[in-house]
């Protein structure tokens, strides 16, 4: 009981929200409180002036006025101040104490006036106390402890004083005020309870709003953050690019966009597992973040693709140098639990203004620079330039002409023989596409094949060329094979493979006479789909040749998992084969690998008799190159004769 009473008569310091609400509500009531107190006191002083001693009508009320005025001014000038919880508690407690003191002071002063004057003046004292205290209590309703203290200090003595005065009117008045006091205390408790409930509801609402905002912020963060690397994702990167473009145009500052694609990441995933692949991506993010101090904003755009925003001095030379630093950092080994993985990063950069003024344009130009880096300068940075813009325009003309081309009329094939160096006999022809455009003239295969891939018409072109190649093969002896190349997109297109199988079936050519050549790069882009399509071809009896072997990033496990019948050694290993011991060792390794997995090994790029002799000494037999013949039209294929000095006598190896 005692503890409950103590709690009722105390400031609830353990409820910060309630304390702040009490202080804010009471602050609004302070002017009214002191207005009632002073005006009622002035009125009582006037009615007793001359009847009561001067100290009761001048000095004592003057002191009470001064205290009231001081407190009113103090509250007025601090009404907009924000208080800490501790300061608010201290302010309420001082109000509680001062309420008790002022209540006791005004009550004692007014009762001391009672003996002076007539019955009307005595009635005024009773009216003053009851009226003033009731009004003040209502002003203190937000401070339950202060209101109850004032009730006990003033109305308690008032009831006793007038109830025992012997005057029936005053006795009735005292009884009436006592009953009103009980009702008022009940109202006070009810109001305070509802006030506390309101504050709790507001607190709960605020907490729910805060939680809702937190969840919204978290959702926004997750929607704009890559969960693996903790870098911004594509959405945030695009928004940041738009913002920085607007800022750069407004302030006249520089800006550039960089796109990074990791070279050799898929073999890491397949060799070491996706766990190591994820760790590698995380470390790539850390290495890119290390450049943030140089004004870079890195992001992961998806898969093994990253983006960078360069600000400030974005000149081509500085960007290229910084890009090379980034590529060098990405090329450092990645070591996880004793396992070492290696990848490189190709970087394409476009500069705001020089490459374009919109986000889409910068992305497109950076992507083109990245394409050039991966095709020609893998693991390095390429900054988009005016020359590249001219190349894009030229590619646009080529793509436009390619879309309008009549493949049947404009496309034709030439054939390069593959020779058995032991017999000088031709065992196969490789079909190579040529385009003679009525608008552009002769267009290089390396140009129009890439253009066909970029425009999405490579499948239709491949179907036309396959049809022409099969028709040509019908004029050759049955022992001569036909070799046809598939592009990167062809290998991973189920629709194209379906169409090619149908064309082969209709041609009447035995599928066993046909070889399909695919490159390492084409297979590695989507190994699962490429391997499935290659198996479908192999199941029909078609031979599968892996072209440009040794220049890609595939692992030997991929070679083992494909139904290969031939491996073609890239010409880059042949240039100095007659003089370079390392080149001979690499070729010998590939030859032995081919033999061990049951594949025919074909060497490309033969141009000299010395190269032929060196390769024969390494056990190579099947060859192709300008030394034997350049690509020729169909009518010249049957008239081919190998060079008279092709056959090279190689001493027999010693055994035992």
> What CATH number did the domain enclosing 558 receive?
3.20.20.450
**Parallel/antiparallel/unpaired status of strands 305-311 and 255-263:** antiparallel
Helix %, strand %, coil % of the chain (to 5) = 60, 15, 25
Closest CA to 346 of 331, 333, 359, 361: 331
29 and 170 belong to one structural domain: yes
476 domain-assigned: yes
462 and 603 belong to one structural domain: yes
Of 384, 407, 425, which residue constitutes the final position of a domain?
A: 384
CA–CA–CA angle 429, 431, 437 (5° rounding): 150
20 and 104 belong to one structural domain: yes
pLDDT on residue 651: 38
Q: Average pLDDT of 132-141? A: 80
Q: What HEC string does 141-156 produce?
A: CCCHHHHHHHHHHHHH
598 domain-assigned: yes
pLDDT on residue 220: 66
Most confident of 14-18, 222-226, 388-392, 466-470: 466-470
Among 5-19, 61-75, 483-497, 599-613, the least confident range: 5-19
Percent of the residues in the chain that have a pLDDT greater than 90, as a whole number: 30
306 in Cβ contact with 300 (< 8 Å): yes
Q: Is residue 521 very low, low, confident or very high in pLDDT (cuts 50, 70, 90)?
A: confident
Split into its structural domains, the chain has a count of 3
Q: Mean pLDDT for the chain?
A: 84
**3-state class (DSSP) for residue 121:** helix
More confident residue, 13 or 606: 606
More confident residue, 2 or 544: 544
493 and 557 belong to one structural domain: yes
pLDDT on residue 556: 63
**Which helix (H) or strand (E) is 623 found in, with range?**
strand 622-623
pLDDT tens for each residue of 240-297? 999 999 988 888 888 999 999 998 887 788 778 888 889 999 999 999 999 887 778 9
**3-state class (DSSP) for residue 590:** helix
pLDDT tens for each residue of 400-443? 999 999 999 999 999 999 999 888 889 999 999 999 999 899 99
Of 384, 418, 442, which residue constitutes the final position of a domain?
A: 384
465 and 353 belong to one structural domain: no
pLDDT on residue 482: 95
The arrangement of strands across the sheet holding 344-351 comes to: 296-302, 305-311, 255-263, 344-351, 381-383
223 domain-assigned: no
542 domain-assigned: yes
More confident residue, 10 or 208: 208
Please state, in angstroms and rounded to a whole number, the distance separating the CA atoms of residues 102 and 116: 22
Of 360, 384, 408, which residue constitutes the final position of a domain?
A: 384
138 in Cβ contact with 87 (< 8 Å): no
pLDDT on residue 557: 60
pLDDT tens for each residue of 196-206? 788 788 878 87
CA dihedral 263, 264, 269, 272 (to 10 degrees): -130
CA dihedral 26, 28, 34, 37 (to 10 degrees): -70
pLDDT on residue 345: 92
- The answer, yes or no, to whether residue 379 has pLDDT greater than 90, is no
Most confident of 341-350, 386-395, 556-565, 585-594: 341-350
543 and 610 belong to one structural domain: yes
Percent of the residues in the chain that have a pLDDT greater than 70, as a whole number: 92
Residues facing residue 465 across a β-bridge: none
44 and 189 belong to one structural domain: yes
423 domain-assigned: no
pLDDT on residue 654: 32
192 and 153 belong to one structural domain: yes
More confident residue, 26 or 395: 395
pLDDT on residue 207: 80
Q: Average pLDDT of 300-323? A: 86
Residue 209 exposed, middle or buried by CB count within 10 Å (0-12, 13-18, 19+) = exposed
Other beta carbons within 10 angstroms of residue 249's beta carbon come to 13
**3-state class (DSSP) for residue 475:** coil
151 and 32 belong to one structural domain: yes
pTM of the model: 0.56
- The answer, yes or no, to whether residue 217 has pLDDT greater than 70, is no
Distances (CA, A) of 217 to 154, 212, 263, 449, 610: 55, 8, 36, 48, 71
pLDDT on residue 295: 79
For 401-439, b where at least 16 C-beta lie within 10 A, e where not — what string?
Answer: bbeebebeebbbbbbbbbbbbeeeebbbbbbbbbbebee
Q: Is residue 9 very low, low, confident or very high in pLDDT (cuts 50, 70, 90)?
A: low
pLDDT tens for each residue of 383-402? 998 888 888 888 889 999 99
118 and 31 belong to one structural domain: yes
67 and 200 belong to one structural domain: yes
240 and 203 belong to one structural domain: no
Among 194-203, 211-220, 223-232, 627-636, the least confident range: 211-220
pLDDT tens for each residue of 464-485? 999 999 999 998 998 999 999 9
639 domain-assigned: no
Which two structure tokens, joined as six digits, stand for 112?
A: 């001391």
Q: Average pLDDT of 36-61? A: 86
Q: Average pLDDT of 18-40? A: 79
pLDDT on residue 363: 93
CATH of the domain at 248: 3.30.70.270
**Beta-sheet strands, E only, within 520-591:** 543-549, 566-569
429 domain-assigned: no
Q: How many CA atoms lie within 13 A of 152 on its CB side?
A: 9
- The answer, yes or no, to whether residue 555 has pLDDT greater than 60, is no
111 in Cβ contact with 164 (< 8 Å): no
The boundaries of the domain holding residue 87 are: 2-207
pLDDT on residue 472: 93
pLDDT on residue 150: 80
- The answer, yes or no, to whether residue 27 has pLDDT greater than 80, is no
627 domain-assigned: no
Please state, in angstroms and rounded to a whole number, the distance separating the CA atoms of residues 8 and 189: 10
44 in Cβ contact with 124 (< 8 Å): yes
């Amino acid at each position: 009981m005692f503890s409950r009473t103590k709690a009722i008569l105390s400031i609830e310091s353990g409820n910060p929200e309630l304390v702040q609400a009490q202080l804010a509500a009471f602050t609004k009531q302070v002017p009214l409180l002191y207005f009632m107190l002073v005006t009622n006191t002035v009125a009582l002083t006037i009615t007793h002036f001359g009847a009561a001693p001067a100290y009761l009508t001048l000095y004592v009320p003057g002191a009470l006025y001064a205290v009231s005025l001081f407190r009113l001014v103090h509250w007025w000038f601090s009404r907009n101040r924000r208080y800490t919880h501790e300061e608010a508690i201290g302010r309420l407690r001082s109000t509680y104490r001062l309420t008790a003191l002022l209540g006791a002071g005004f009550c004692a002063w007014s009762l001391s006036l009672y003996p002076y004057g007539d019955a009307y003046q005595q009635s005024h004292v009773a009216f003053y106390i009851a009226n003033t205290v009731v009004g003040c209590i209502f002003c203190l309703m937000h401070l339950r402890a202060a209101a109850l203290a004032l009730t006990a200090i003033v109305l308690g003595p008032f009831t006793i004083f007038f109830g025992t005065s012997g005057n029936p009117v005053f006795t009735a008045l005292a009884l009436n005020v006592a009953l009103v006091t009980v009702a008022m205390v009940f109202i006070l408790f009810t109001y305070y309870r509802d006030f506390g409930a309101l504050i709790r509801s507001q607190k709960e609402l605020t907490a729910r709003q805060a939680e809702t905002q937190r969840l919204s912020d978290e959702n926004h963060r997750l929607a704009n953050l890559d969960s693996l690397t903790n870098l911004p994702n594509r959405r945030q990167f695009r928004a940041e690019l738009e913002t920085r473009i607007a800022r750069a145009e407004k302030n006249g500052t520089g800006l550039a966009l960089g796109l990074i694609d990791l070279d050799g990441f898929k073999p890491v995933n397949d060799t070491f597992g996706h766990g190591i692949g994820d760790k590698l991506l995380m470390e790539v993010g850390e290495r890119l973040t290390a450049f943030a101090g140089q004004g870079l904003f890195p992001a992961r755009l998806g898969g093994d693709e990253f983006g960078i925003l360069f600000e400030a001095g974005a000149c081509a030379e500085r960007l290229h140098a910084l890009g090379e630093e980034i590529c060098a950092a990405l090329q450092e080994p990645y070591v996880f639990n004793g396992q070492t993985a290696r990848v490189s990063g190709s970087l394409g950069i476009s500069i705001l203004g020089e490459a374009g003024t919109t986000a889409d344009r910068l992305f497109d130009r950076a992507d083109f620079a990245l394409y050039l880096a991966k095709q020609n300068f893998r693991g390095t940075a390429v900054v988009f330039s005016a020359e590249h813009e001219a190349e894009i325009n030229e590619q646009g003309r080529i793509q436009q002409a390619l879309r309008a081309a009549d493949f049947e009329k404009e496309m034709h094939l030439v054939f390069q023989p593959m020779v058995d160096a032991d017999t000088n006999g031709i065992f196969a022809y490789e079909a190579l596409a040529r385009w003679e455009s009525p608008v552009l003239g002769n267009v290089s295969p390396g140009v129009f094949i890439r253009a066909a891939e970029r425009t999405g018409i490579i499948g239709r072109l491949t179907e036309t060329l396959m049809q022409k190649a099969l028709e040509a093969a019908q004029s050759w002896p049955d022992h001569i094979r036909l070799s046809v190349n598939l592009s990167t997109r062809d290998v991973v297109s189920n629709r194209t493979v379906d169409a090619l199988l149908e064309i082969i079936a209709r041609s009447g050519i035995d599928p066993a006479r046909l070889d399909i050549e695919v490159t390492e790069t084409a297979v590695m882009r989507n190994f699962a789909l490429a391997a499935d399509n290659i198996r479908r071809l192999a199941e029909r009896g078609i031979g599968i040749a892996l072209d440009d072997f040794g220049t890609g990033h595939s692992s030997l496990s991929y070679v083992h998992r494909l139904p290969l019948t031939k491996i073609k050694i890239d010409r880059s290993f042949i240039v100095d084969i007659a003089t370079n011991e390392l080149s001979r060792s690499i070729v010998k390794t590939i030859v032995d690998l081919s033999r061990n997995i049951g594949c025919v090994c074909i060497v490309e790029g033969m141009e000299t008799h010395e190269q032929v002799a060196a390769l024969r000494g390494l056990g190579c037999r099947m060859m192709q190159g300008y030394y034997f013949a350049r690509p020729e039209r169909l009518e010249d294929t049957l008239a081919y004769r190998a060079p008279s000095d092709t056959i090279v006598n190689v001493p027999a190896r010693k055994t035992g």
